[in-house]
Amino acid sequence: MIDRYLSGRLTEKEAEAFELHYLGCDECFRELQIRKQLLAVIKEKGKTLFAEFIEEGKKGSQSGIRPRRFPETVRDIWARRNFRIYISGMAAVFLILVLYFAVDWGNPPLSESFRESPYLEERIKTQDDTRSEKGFQLLAPANKARFSPQTPILFRWSNPGNETLGLKILNNQGDRLFSFEVNDSQFLFREALPPGLYYWKVESGDEARIGKFFVR
């Protein structure tokens, strides 16, 4: 399913259903990000894998000289220095990707766009110690969840009363960037966000619950 999604072979309905699933599934989300990175590397580096043979073929066809034979055995291929360098590079990239997604790197760098809002942080701590009078709670994304700039974000919350709630997305200064009225318990946000710390708020009347996430 992940391969079909990345290659654009899913229907619009299938793609939307898949996005709703993987955004709420840490394992699928991590696997998708790794495959995206690997595809990007392969597309960038794969063109040069046998560039020498392609170039020789072009020269041979122009001069009438028969190009050198294409390697036919694993030993022939492995003997080529460029191929060994390519494989070593791919292995290093794969190891870096595995370490990046497997290790908790802690807090993001404290550039201006990643600095926490003292007011909103205090609100988050306070709400963790209190119970919602209307019974709604934030479900996803989890606090400190990380997304890439182009990744859709699925916001989910409990809504026992089936009320129409306000969903707001704030920057790390508390300024409102987006606002939506939602009569459901989830909302798929598709806008691209620049790297930084963001807060999201679900509110009904005087009551609100706040979460936060990172775009990196």
**Strands across the sheet with 145-147, in order?**
145-147, 207-215, 196-204, 165-170, 176-182
User: What is the model's pLDDT at position 206?
Assistant: 77
Are 98 and 139 in the same domain?
A: no
Are 74 and 124 in the same domain?
A: no
Closest CA to 152 of 188, 121, 122: 188
User: What is the model's pLDDT at position 193?
Assistant: 92
Structural domains of the chain, count: 2
- Among positive and negative, which fits the CA dihedral 185, 158, 154, 19? negative
Are 156 and 202 in the same domain?
A: yes
The one-character DSSP state at 47 is G
User: What is the model's pLDDT at position 64?
Assistant: 55
Are 84 and 57 in the same domain?
A: yes
User: What is the model's pLDDT at position 92?
Assistant: 73
Tell me if 78 is assigned to some domain: yes
Are 170 and 87 in the same domain?
A: no
Are 195 and 145 in the same domain?
A: yes
Are 156 and 175 in the same domain?
A: yes
Domain extent, residue 31, equals: 2-102
Residue finishing a domain among 102, 131, 163: 102
pLDDT tens per residue, the chain (216 residues)? 666 766 677 787 777 766 666 655 667 777 777 777 776 766 666 556 555 555 655 555 555 555 455 444 555 555 555 656 667 667 777 777 666 555 544 444 446 888 899 999 998 888 876 666 666 788 999 888 999 988 999 999 887 777 888 999 999 999 999 999 998 889 999 999 999 999 999 988 778 899 999 998
Are 119 and 211 in the same domain?
A: yes
User: What is the model's pLDDT at position 77?
Assistant: 53
| CATH at residue 144 | 2.60.40.10
User: What is the model's pLDDT at position 99?
Assistant: 62
Are 84 and 141 in the same domain?
A: no
User: What is the model's pLDDT at position 101?
Assistant: 56
Structure tokens at 180: 């939506």
Are 153 and 131 in the same domain?
A: yes
Please report, as a single letter, which amino acid is at residue 177. Answer: L
User: What is the model's pLDDT at position 179?
Assistant: 94
Are 96 and 130 in the same domain?
A: no
User: What is the model's pLDDT at position 76?
Assistant: 57
Tell me if 86 is assigned to some domain: yes
Residue finishing a domain among 67, 102, 137: 102
Tell me if 56 is assigned to some domain: yes
Angle at the Cα of 200 (from 203 to 28), degrees rounded to 5?
120
Tell me if 107 is assigned to some domain: no
User: What is the model's pLDDT at position 132?
Assistant: 61
DSSP 90-142: HHHHHHHHHHHHHS---SPP--GGG---HHHHHHHHHHHTS--TT---EEESP
Tell me if 96 is assigned to some domain: yes
Tell me if 43 is assigned to some domain: yes
Are 163 and 119 in the same domain?
A: yes
Residue finishing a domain among 56, 82, 102: 102
User: What is the model's pLDDT at position 208?
Assistant: 87
Tell me if 129 is assigned to some domain: yes
